[in-house]
Amino acid sequence: MKAHLTRRYHFSASHRLHSAEMPADENVAVYGKCNNPYGHGHNYALEVTVSGPVVKSTGMVCNLADLDDFVQREILQRMDIQNLNMLPDFAATVPTSENLCVVIYEILQRGFHHAHPEKVRLEETMMNSFEYAGGKEVRR
């Protein structure tokens, strides 16, 4: 029997949406106020969904503490109270929330082995949320 587990986390980070591949006026046209040279911040809500068989002895897909510890150590400590543009993950990639979902998903894929990472959902504002569930790589 396969089941899904979703956990919700929160972190705050800033970013500037700006592509070195586009001229300044195009960056302003594409990203608008999000292209502010000083950046801007968000209080993100992150949902991580993992799946797997329900272990008979525990009745769980995985130990919640294992998932929480991994997300805290590998994702939140790396991104909370940070300027995302300064992280190595975004050295050559615009730190949009779409790309942030991809980075978080890839971190889970590489390192969380207690259950199968299914998807990442990131709520940037009350009006904007983004999901990534693997598949073809996003153009970088």
In whole angstroms, give the CA distance from residue 62 to residue 116.
10
Contact between 131 and 117 (Cβ < 8 Å): no
| pLDDT tens column, 64-121 | 999 999 999 999 999 999 999 999 999 999 999 999 999 999 999 999 999 999 999 9
Q: Identify the pLDDT of residue 136.
A: 55
**Domain boundaries, given as residue ranges, for the chain:** 2-132
Q: pTM for the complete prediction?
A: 0.91
CATH 3.30.479.10 applies to domain 2-132: yes
